[in-house]
Amino acid sequence: RRADCGWCKKDVKAAYHLAKNDLPVEPGPIYVHGHSMGSFLAAYIADSEDVAGYILESPITDVDSWTKRLVPRLLRPFVRFDIEESIKAQNNIDPVQRIEEPLLIIGGKQDEITPFKMAEELHEKSSSREKYLVKIENGNHNDLPTFDTYKRALTEFLGDK
């Protein structure tokens, strides 16, 4: 069976509803956070459910643009990705244009997997009136949480909310 987004979206919806309705504690504000391809799921929940805000870490604008940049231009005629259509259709541009909840986007300047340019594009297209873009100068794709800038950004964004 091929991977597709339907199962992931069902799982993330179930996790959201568990956190909101079924935990033995009073729920506080819910923020969703997605890293890299997980940014699609965070934006999906923020676009379809009641959240206090959302965080996109090393986000991807859309699958097509992302996969194209992974292959050097000269090799593109010879290299093809066989990507399930439901995955290929994923993008963060449409949801960020609709979502008005607070948004924090964090990316690393040295990220070669999801370039910071994608974070900048999402920030620019976001409809949120409260949106923040944090660039971690020496940050790569998977090491952002090790930087004080990252921790400070999360603390300031979440505050006493």
Asked if 47 contacts 98 with a C-beta cutoff of 8 angstroms, the reply is: yes
Q: Of all helices (H) and strands (E), which one includes residue 48?
A: helix 38-48
Distances (CA, A) of 146 to 34, 57, 124, 152: 17, 13, 26, 11
Q: Which of 3, 62, 52 is nearest to 32 (CA)?
A: 52
Task: Tell which residue, 43, 68, 55, 52, has the closest CA to residue 19.
Answer: 52
pLDDT of residue 2: 47
CB 67 within 8 A of CB 83: yes
Low-confidence stretches of the chain (pLDDT beneath 70): 1-6, 63-90, 160-161
The amino acid at residue 147 is: F
Residues 119, 58: Cα–Cα separation, whole Å? 7
pLDDT confidence of residue 37? 86
Is the CA virtual torsion 1, 71, 89, 20 positive or negative?
positive
pLDDT recorded at residue 112: 87
Q: Tell me what pLDDT residue 24 has.
A: 84
